[in-house]
Amino acid sequence: MIIPTEPIGSIPRPLKLIAALKTMDGADPRLDPLYDEAIRDTIAAFESTGSPVITDGEQRKYHNFGTYCVHGLPNLSPDGFKIPFVSHTRRWPRLTSGPFRYKRYAGNFLEVAARYAHVPVKQAVISPSALSLMYPAEEIAGYSRDEFLTDLLREHEIEVRECLQKGAHKVQIDFTEGRLAIKIDPTGELLNSFIHLNNLALARFSAPERQRIGIHTCPGADRDSTHSADVDYAELLPSMFQLKAGNFYVSLSAEKDRIRILKIIREHMKPDQRIFVGVVSPIDPRLDTPEEIRDRILEAAEYIPLAQLGTTDDCGFSPFCDDTSTSRETAFAKIRARVLGTALAAEILGRN
């Protein structure tokens, strides 16, 4: 039998590209040769791991996994929502005026990656709920929050539909703010608003299209730090599985009580949803062996039906472009171990 296995998205950029980004804006055309070299090298290294599905490593996502689509817009201020990691803080941009439009769509990244790839390529995109945090608490004069959300949903649909049309193996919606929402608002109202908004977006796609769309959740992974690992998954997962997507990528390997979380997943997952469990932690410097990963998968198979089981990494390896806490070599070694460990588990499960 075969157990599907997929990466999440980001791979640490080459040090030469990181150094250049410190002196130039991410959209500077002088960076194009460095981006192209990084993409080609990333895809070749990805394919050498044996991964049946790859990404472009998000090499050209300007600055980070979330605001690539709006970086450079004139109606943004850098002093927006704070993302409180354990060791540091990142900031989201703040919208200062309307209308809201994307500056670029992820389909452009997918198109470039497809030129070099020999295996299926998936594409990660940011969620509407994450971008909704750009709208300030005080209403923008002449541009209401409702108008903003209408524009946001339209832009998100354009991006996802374009990725599907360009042949993405899957379109993965990054929903790392789901767990963080509970930390910000323990009442659950913020999380519920996120679920509602994302379902409004998902409702724009047909059932077959939603089988190619997935949701990724994790407690953040930046500079070996998280923003919401202290939030109980039990506060998120029941709501998250209400999202009308066909695939869920759930950070799991770094959790202290995986069995408890697997039981929650089993209770709340839907029959038409595939669960890709995280079996590798990108922010743990230790290299897991394929045998350790095999055992985590066998553990998960006791709670998730094999027809609905997949494996993945807990998170991307470098969601923010300046993060050098993990090397490219370590990232690909961990991916190779995931691929090998998944194959070992599949062999055992296929015999049983």
Token pair of 13 as six digits? 């950029």
Residue 301, pLDDT > 90, answer yes
* Residue-wise pLDDT tens digits, 308-348: 999 999 999 999 988 899 999 999 999 999 999 999 999 99
User: 177: number of CA atoms within 13 Å, CB side?
Assistant: 28
Q: How far apart are CA 67 and CA 53, in angstroms?
A: 24
DSSP 108-148: HHHHHHHHH-SS-B-EEEE-HHHHHTTS-SSPBTTB-HHHH
Domain that holds residue 336: 15-351
Confidence label for 95 from pLDDT (cuts 50, 70 and 90): very high
Confidence label for 63 from pLDDT (cuts 50, 70 and 90): confident
Give pLDDT, residue 1.
83
In a domain, 9, yes or no: no
In a domain, 320, yes or no: yes
Pairing of strands 76-77, 94-95: antiparallel
In a domain, 103, yes or no: yes
* Residue-wise pLDDT tens digits, 8-51: 999 999 999 999 999 998 889 999 999 999 999 999 999 999 99
Number of DSSP helices (H) and strands (E) in the chain, helices first? 12, 10
* Residue-wise pLDDT tens digits, 159-174: 999 999 999 999 999 9
- Domain of residue 38, CATH code: 3.20.20.210
Mean pLDDT along residues 224-245: 96
Residues with Cβ within 8 Å of 182's Cβ and at least 6 positions away in sequence, in order, are: 188, 190, 191, 228, 231, 232, 235, 236
How many domains are there within the chain? 1
Burial of 78 (0-12, 13-18, 19+ CB in 10 A): exposed
Mean pLDDT along residues 176-194: 97
In a domain, 25, yes or no: yes
Give pLDDT, residue 55.
98
Residue 279, pLDDT > 90, answer yes
Give pLDDT, residue 27.
87
> Quick check: 19 and 12 in contact, CB under 8 A?
no
In a domain, 39, yes or no: yes
Token pair of 184 as six digits? 């910000």
Residue 352, pLDDT > 90, answer no
Residue 140, pLDDT > 90, answer yes
Give pLDDT, residue 242.
98
In a domain, 145, yes or no: yes
Q: What percent of the chain has pLDDT over 90?
A: 96
In a domain, 1, yes or no: no
Q: CB count, 10 Å around CB of 114?
A: 16
In a domain, 2, yes or no: no
